[in-house]
Structure 1
């Protein structure tokens, strides 16, 4: 296999993988909306900080205990995930069947932007509600996913492409 074909293969599989990952995230959050909203609500209400030993922090004034706001926050994340999934499916189609990377790149970049937007929403929201104190693994997951998005941006937009 020559270099251009191997780069195309890697980019195509990566685009398809991101389309599938985002699609599964949308399906999971849609089908399990109540549970996902409770998880978002746990962070927004700062519930992990109440577990023994409770954490005394001046951040308590930021607590949001409204289930309606928890659902609204999840809806923003879900909408961004859906935009990202659709964009990645369009980009994957352009890579596999369409006119290749030049036609796919705007779709892939839109997908990456939506992906980064919902990750920043979760990461910055978590930071606001003090999730680094008791939800370190969630914070690390958000950071790892953001690194994946940044690496994918370079994969799809590097000069070899």
Structure 2
């Protein structure tokens, strides 16, 4: 497989994730009320209060809904950092594609791995935090989005981290002959 093919396929993935994360940041900043509502429901465990059975043993973990703004902006800052890291990796792949350069491809992969690890940390943080507050009992759709993003992040990390097969004889390592 050529360096350009590899770089372009990874550019598409990292660019897509960077764009998605940038839109998520924009949504958090332009419509904080919606996100404060969902974060507040999770932190306060408000949705479990009216249920006579679900979450009885977990309700002591609830936080005041007042924390929702602080948590939302902390998440937005982390998302901005991740977005910038994803864009940086995407542009590194664009440079490798444009110059058809194996060294640039390797450097882009290093940037992509770092960006994707942070991407995964964000969504693992959401799922672990949500699990702590029992969001899976009443906010299954939100948990499904977080789990889907973990799977997308893992698949992207695996693809980015795979070492491509050399495509030319010059790229293949010399093989020792056996007598």
Aligned counterpart, 1:114: 118
| Among 131, 146, 152, the residue aligned to 1:142 | 146
Aligned counterpart, 1:18: 17
Aligned counterpart, 2:63: 64
Structure that is richer in helix per residue:
1
Between stretches 30-39 and 123-132, larger displacement belongs to 30-39
Hey, what's the Cα distance between the residues in 1 that align with 2:82 and 2:113? 9
CA offsets per residue over residues 96-119 of structure 1, 9 Å max, x none? 125642121232122212211211
Give the 3 Å change call, closer, same or farther, for CA 84–133 of structure 1 in structure 2: same
Aligned counterpart, 1:31: 30
Once superposed, which parts of structure 1, at least 4 consecutive aligned residues long, lie more than 2 Å away? 3-9, 50-56, 97-101
SS of 1:97 mapped into structure 2: helix
Hey, what's the Cα distance between the residues in 2 that align with 1:49 and 1:60? 8
SS of 2:26 mapped into structure 1: helix
Q: TM-score, normalised by structure 1?
A: 0.87
Hey, what's the Cα distance between the residues in 2 that align with 1:109 and 1:60? 38
Hey, what's the Cα distance between the residues in 2 that align with 1:114 and 1:32? 24
CA offsets per residue over residues 124-156 of structure 1, 9 Å max, x none? 111011111111222122111101111111111
| Among 91, 94, 102, the residue aligned to 2:92 | 94
Aligned counterpart, 1:79: 77
Max Rg structure: 2
Gap regions ≥5 residues in structure 1: none
Gap regions ≥5 residues in structure 2: 166-179
Hey, what's the Cα distance between the residues in 1 that align with 2:121 and 2:144? 17
Task: Say yes or no: does 1:126 pair with 2:125.
Answer: no
Query: How many residue pairs align between the two structures?
Result: 158
